[in-house]
């Protein structure tokens, strides 16, 4: 693997926005001058079914078109998936896990048996407080920015503006930016 | 200014079609082609193109509508996949035999059954002998570039044949990648004014399309199709050269990756070629002399190029994403037949992979290369990558 190739696997339930989050991350990384890929895994398309999405980010053109087998980062948007063996597949001590949960880092580790660094963020709670809706994506992107440094907040802010300004106005943009920053500030890591 | 966008292959193809602004688009939705038509329908609804969009009741009708449009002198486009292409089959042959410069994007998908929506190449391979030019894209960038180039090849007076732009279903059609798009004006100038030949609507010079043609002239007409294909490599190269001037991206009949000193050469179509390039980069670090020969064009099959590039190499490994039941896989068959006449024949082996979207990883590719390194390739044996046996 080229040293600068960073691979992410997102776990969520269909309809929770893992695909949109992976796409927004890709667009922000593109604006930072990176090469990117974002692609979901397509199974039976039913709302609520477990689904995966992937990102690749690199300084060089990305040639790989296989699925991500050994991610550098695993992001779990729905903590009811933690018992699913897919969460730990292809991971080791060097992999990072970020989970949207109110549970502690220790209980997450216990639940899924993850060997690498484990981080938690109360993304749904933050989203409910800031946006009034249980859409944790922007909060999760803030946590990803803090833990990995692969994206910078200001580039995500630009993407939030692109996505929401025309449709929902400046107030919604500001709320999402606040949610993003709270994800960045409030993510807790251990190990 | 070229614009770098993070978009899917489907969006890239639709974006190219927006810039081309065709006269007629007729299409019927089928996974994974659907987003191509969705994006394009939005351009039509927003009034950014002048296209007459015909929603039809089936793919058979879609191809029939673009045949009628192209015969009347319109620039016509359609897109499909899998069972949709299979349903067009009858009219696909008619489009080529009437020498109509139609462009069709195909988001390659497995054919039923069992029912499967994911990528393989059996849909396009079933149209291998239909008389269409087949271009094969590795990624979203190539899908965009080939769509831009397609009409210039199809409409050339020495060619006058339809062009199929193939890109892998889901992997490319739904995967977001970085695509550098060209300015609208640049594409418009590149495509140029359509060269019309024998349009039905030129009523002062009446012509007949699709008339009955028995044993008196049918054979001569088929012979002309054979002849037209012979001009495609030259025209493709000319168009590619012109395209390089506006884009900086250079295409040819074959993408030669690390071929100069390669002793072991892999051959594959579509997105897997990228994964092979990645694997080659890793194997090269270990000092292995490996390379990739990627066909950008599969029909016509530029046999002479294969002979020139493969003569005297140690081994050639051909990867097919479709099977030919009871015979050799289509790409392998073509390559093996090309090697019949060369002076120093390499060892050659056939590997079928990825049917119905089965993932192919660098580990699988390395495994096939390892067989070649060991001299363990058997010319008449078909092997399988990533299959439970």
pLDDT range class, residue A44, cuts 50, 70, 90: low
Measure B325 CA to nearest chain A CA, in Å.
26
* DSSP state for residue A5 in the 8-state scheme: -
- The answer, yes or no, to whether residue A1 has pLDDT greater than 60, is no
Mutate to test the interface with B, among A38, A60, A65 (most CBs of B within 10 A): A65
CB contact under 8 A, B175 and A38: yes
Domain boundaries, chain A: 6-190
Model pLDDT for residues A139-169, shown as the tens digit of each residue: 999 999 999 999 999 999 999 999 999 999 9
Helices (H), A87-122: 105-112
User: Going by C-beta distance under 8 Å and a sequence separation of 6 or more, which residues neighbour residue B247?
Assistant: B2, B145, B180, B182
The Cα of B171 is separated from the nearest Cα of chain A by a number of Å equal to: 7
In angstroms, the separation between the Cα of residue B179 and the nearest Cα of chain A is: 10
Q: Compare CB distances from A39 to B174, B281, B361 and report the shortest one's residue.
A: B174
What structural domains and CATH numbers belong to chain B?
3-247 (3.40.50.970), 254-385 (3.40.50.920)
Quick check: A26 contacting B, CB < 8 Å?
A: yes
Determine the CATH number of domain A6-190: 3.40.920.10
* pLDDT of A191: 60
Which of the residues in chain B have pLDDT under 70?
none
Q: Is A2's pLDDT higher than 90?
A: no
Write out pLDDT tens, residues B233-273: 999 999 999 999 999 999 999 999 999 999 999 999 999 99
What residues have CB less than 8 Å from B12, skipping those under 6 apart?
Answer: B140, B141, B143, B144, B147, B179, B181
- In angstroms, how far is CA B11 from the centroid of its own chain? 17
Q: Which helix (H) or strand (E) holds A9?
A: strand A6-13
Residues of chain A in contact with residue B359, where contact means CB-CB under 8 angstroms, are 66-67
- Report the Cα–Cα distance between both ends of chain A, in Å, rounded: 25
Nearest CA in chain A to B360: A66
pLDDT at A3 exceeding the cut of 90 = no
* Strand residues in chain B grouped as ranges (E): 3-8, 24-27, 52-55, 76-80, 103-108, 133-136, 163-168, 176-181, 254-257, 264-267, 290-295, 297-299, 315-320, 347-353, 382-385
In terms of CA atoms, which chain B residue is nearest residue A41? B170
Q: Find chain A residues with C-beta within 8 A of B5's C-beta.
A: 30
> Nearest C-alpha of chain B: how many angstroms from A69?
9
Asked if the bond preceding B179 is cis, omega within 30° of 0, the reply is: no
The β-bridge partners of B26 are B54
Provide the ipTM.
0.93
**Which of A39, A63, A65 is the closest to B176 by Cβ?**
A39
Q: Report chain B residues whose CB lies below 8 A from the CB of A156.
A: none
Q: What is the pLDDT of residue B144?
A: 98
- Residue A41 confidence (pLDDT): 87
């Amino acid at each position: 693997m080229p040293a600068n190739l960073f691979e992410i696997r997102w776990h969520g339930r269909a309809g929770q926005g893992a695909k949109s989050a992976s796409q927004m991350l890709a667009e922000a990384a593109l604006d930072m001058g990176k090469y990117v890929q974002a692609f979901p895994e397509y199974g039976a398309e039913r709302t609520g079914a477990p689904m995966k999405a992937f990102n690749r980010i690199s300084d060089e053109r990305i040639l790989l078109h296989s699925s991500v087998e050994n991610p550098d980062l695993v992001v779990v948007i729905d903590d009811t998936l933690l018992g699913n063996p897919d969460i730990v597949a292809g991971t080791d001590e060097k992999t990072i896990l970020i989970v949207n949960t109110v549970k502690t880092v220790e209980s997450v580790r216990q639940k899924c048996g993850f060997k690498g660094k484990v981080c938690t963020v109360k993304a749904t709670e933050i989203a409910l407080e800031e946006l009034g809706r249980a859409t944790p994506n922007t909060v999760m992107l803030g946590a990803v920015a803090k833990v990995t440094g692969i994206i910078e907040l200001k580039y995500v802010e630009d993407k939030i503006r692109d996505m929401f300004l025309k449709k929902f106005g400046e107030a919604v943009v500001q709320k999402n930016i606040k949610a993003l920053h709270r994800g960045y500030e409030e993510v807790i890591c251990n190990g | 200014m070229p614009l770098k966008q993070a978009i899917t292959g489907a969006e890239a193809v639709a974006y190219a079609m927006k810039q081309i602004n065709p006269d007629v688009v007729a299409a019927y939705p089928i996974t994974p082609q659907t987003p191509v038509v969705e994006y394009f329908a939005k351009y039509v609804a927003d009034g950014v193109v002048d296209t007459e969009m015909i929603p039809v009741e089936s793919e058979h009708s879609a191809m029939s509508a673009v045949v009628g449009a192209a015969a009347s002198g319109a620039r016509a486009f359609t897109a499909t996949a899998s069972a949709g292409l299979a349903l067009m089959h009858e009219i696909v042959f008619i489009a080529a035999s009437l020498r109509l410069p139609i462009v069709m994007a195909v988001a390659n998908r497995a054919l039923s059954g069992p029912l499967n929506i994911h990528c393989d190449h059996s849909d396009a391979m079933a149209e291998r002998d239909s008389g269409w030019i087949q271009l094969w894209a590795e990624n979203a960038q190539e899908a965009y570039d080939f769509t831009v180039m397609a009409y210039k090849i199809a409409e050339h007076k020495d060619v006058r044949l339809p062009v199929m732009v193939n890109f892998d279903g889901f992997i490319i059609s739904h995967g977001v990648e970085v695509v550098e798009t060209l300015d609208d004006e640049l594409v418009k100038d590149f495509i140029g004014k359509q060269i019309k030949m024998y349009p039905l609507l030129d009523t002062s010079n009446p012509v007949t399309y699709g008339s009955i043609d028995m044993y008196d002239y049918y054979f001569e007409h088929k012979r002309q199709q054979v002849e037209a294909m012979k001009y495609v490599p030259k025209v493709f190269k000319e168009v590619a050269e012109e395209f390089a001037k506006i884009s900086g991206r250079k295409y040819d009949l074959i993408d030669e990756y690390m071929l100069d000193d390669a002793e072991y050469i892999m051959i594959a179509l579509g997105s897997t070629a990228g994964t092979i390039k990645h694997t080659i980069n890793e194997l090269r670090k270990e000092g292995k002399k490996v390379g990739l020969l990627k066909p950008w064009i599969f029909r016509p099959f530029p046999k002479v190029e294969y002979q020139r590039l493969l003569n005297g190499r140690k081994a050639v490994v051909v990867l097919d994403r479709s099977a030919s039941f009871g015979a050799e896989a289509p790409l392998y068959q073509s390559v093996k037949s090309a090697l019949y006449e060369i002076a120093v024949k390499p060892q050659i082996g056939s590997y079928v992979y990825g049917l119905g979207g089965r993932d192919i990883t660098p580990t699988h590719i390395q495994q096939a290369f390892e067989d070649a390194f060991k001299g363990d390739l058997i010319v008449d044996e078909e092997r399988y990558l990533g299959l439970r046996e």
